[in-house]
Chains A and B, each alone.
Chain A
Amino acid sequence: MKRPSILLLITFLFGIFIVLALHIAAPKKENHKHAGFERVFAPEGTLVPLDTLDLGYGSYYIAGIDHGHLFLGNNQVPSHLVETNVDNLKDTVHHKISIPEDNLKYRSIQVKVSAPDFYVVDGVVPFIYRGSISDWTATRYKNSPYFLDAVPMQNGALALIGVNKEMEKVFYKVTEENPQPEIFPGLLKAQGDEAILSTSGQLHYDKNTKILTYVYLYRNQFFLMDTDLNLLRAGSTIDTISQEKINVGEISSENLWKISPLSLKVNERSCVHENLLYINSNILAGNEDIDVFDSISVIDVYQLDNGSYQFSFYIPALSSKKIREFVVVHHNLIVAKYKQHIITYKLDTSHTI
């Protein structure tokens, strides 16, 4: 038997070696594996940072943008709202939303601003409150089914991504006139043997074109609808993921499903402005550097009327943290929300479109 110090060293190195081997043998990241397509990048200098606003907390989210005003809701203090000017991120105003009812129970509360109205919605309880941004007082608006997201349209209309009694994902439309929301089934197409996760995505409404756009999270597809939720046309994004690759593990003792990191998100986040669709894709392209790709947020731009891909650009990270939300406003102004900062960028499209 050797000296204990040498044996300890050997054991120590052995432990390190096993983890190192695991590290080396670790599979390639799922979003790097499907690089069978290429992006067309806008020339450098296309994206110019303008202003920065430090919110101080990470709990803010973009509640809406209207007429040059950016509204930020707060997850921790649902009645608190910050308003700022998108053109300079100055003139910050704080608002307090009041709801006459006492003890409103909420579980997944969100504020949506769509001037001159604002909505306080919760798809889990569920409820929809509405008020005017002149006095920030909301009253109960409509009964609603359970929903995942509510998108304000115009004149008191809202599109809801909801779940019906058969546990299928459907759209609902809430209108001023109808006491009950109208249901629109069959638009969201399930893939695989499961209808909730595979149809995940983001719904956008553009006031100028009056068009709703739904972008799937787990596949390379999006589709357009009019305000009565009639399907107008469908399109695909440039990557090759037409079939969802969702991987879930079941923990029956806790009645819980966990989404594995092997599940491949395609269109992580997106937004629409007039005729353009901006998608922050999660899929690495063949002509991109892996390290660069992992440190920025790539945005692919599509034209909505014909679904054609235009170009791509990068939104840089802020102290190595990527964007959490982004919205494109007037005159190619991009509002990017990082953990606790807002940065506005000017997108110079003169030489690309």
Chain B
Amino acid sequence: MRPIRWTLPSFFKRHKGIVIEVICFLFILLFVYAAVSKLTDVQKFTVQIGQSPLLTNIAGFTAWFIPIVEIGVSLLLAWPRSRLYGLYGAFGLMVMFTAYIIAILSFSEHIPCSCGGVLEKLGWTEHLIFNIVFIALAAIGILLLTPPHYQRDDLAPLGEQRYSH
């Protein structure tokens, strides 16, 4: 058996189509779920955000803005043509959420997470791991979805090089 660091990338490449579908599906599930559970009780979400020392002043704005962006990214992911933009959006959002968790922990460990639904039940460590997994998924999706000639011009197949000029 070959070491996993060789088998894993080739597995992703061989099943590229299905891997991308699964990644996009997971992100749509995550974002739509999180957005809907926030929007069904905007008042609660606003109060929760208001508890955060980073967001108290812009709680009203953030409470609407975050779920709307989450739904927007889900729509981009659902539409095959805009999928790559969606994955960049998802990647950016997850990096932002993760950075936020780290920033908030530097203030206090008692601030509740307001991610919505069952996600709020996660502890901070679980939450970090969860987020890092999703960041990795987004990065894998982006790498798989980017057409080969954008990745390495010198290695692109001859047939495709014609279109790149």
Q: Which segment, of A33-41, A190-198, A201-209, A257-265, faces chain B?
A: A257-265
21 contacts between A and B (CB under 8 A): A1-B150, A7-B88, A7-B142, A8-B142, A11-B95, A12-B92, A14-B92, A15-B93, A15-B95, A15-B98, A19-B54, A19-B99, A19-B100, A22-B103, A25-B57, A29-B53, A249-B46, A249-B47, A249-B50, A260-B56, A262-B56
Asked whether A56 is an interface residue with its Cβ less than 8 Å from the other chain, the reply is no
Further contacts, 17 of them, CB under 8 A, given A16-B99, A262-B50: A2-B150, A3-B150, A4-B150, A7-B88, A8-B88, A11-B92, A11-B95, A15-B91, A16-B95, A16-B96, A19-B54, A20-B103, A251-B43, A251-B44, A253-B43, A258-B47, A260-B51
- Contact assessment for A26 and B43 in the assembled complex, using a CB-CB cutoff below 8 Å: no
Chain B contact residues, CB within 8 Å of chain A: 41, 43-44, 46-48, 50-51, 53-57, 88, 91-96, 98-100, 103, 139, 142-143, 146, 150-151
- Most B C-beta atoms less than 10 A away, residue of A7, A22, A27, A262: A22
- Which residue of chain B is the closest to A24 with respect to CB atoms? B54
For chain A, the count of residues having a C-beta within 8 Å of the partner chain is 30
Bound complex: CA of A1 vs CA of B56, how far in Å? 38
Give the chain B neighbours of A19 by CB distance below 8 A.
54, 96, 99-100, 103
- Contact assessment for B56 and A15 in the assembled complex, using a CB-CB cutoff below 8 Å: no
- Contact assessment for B93 and A3 in the assembled complex, using a CB-CB cutoff below 8 Å: no
Q: When A and B form their complex, what is the total count of cross-chain residue pairs whose Cβ atoms lie within 8 Å?
A: 85
Question: Chain B interface mostly helix, strand, loop or mixed?
Answer: helix
Which A284-300 residues sit within 8 Å CB-CB of chain B?
none
Give the chain B neighbours of A12 by CB distance below 8 A.
91-92, 95
Chain A contact residues, CB within 8 Å of chain B: 1-4, 7-8, 11-12, 14-16, 18-20, 22-23, 25-27, 29, 249-254, 258, 260-262
Bound complex: CA of A18 vs CA of B96, how far in Å? 7
Give the chain A neighbours of B139 by CB distance below 8 A.
8
- Contact assessment for B99 and A261 in the assembled complex, using a CB-CB cutoff below 8 Å: no
**A197 → B minimal CB distance (Å):** 15
**B153 → A minimal CB distance (Å):** 9
Give the chain A neighbours of B93 by CB distance below 8 A.
15
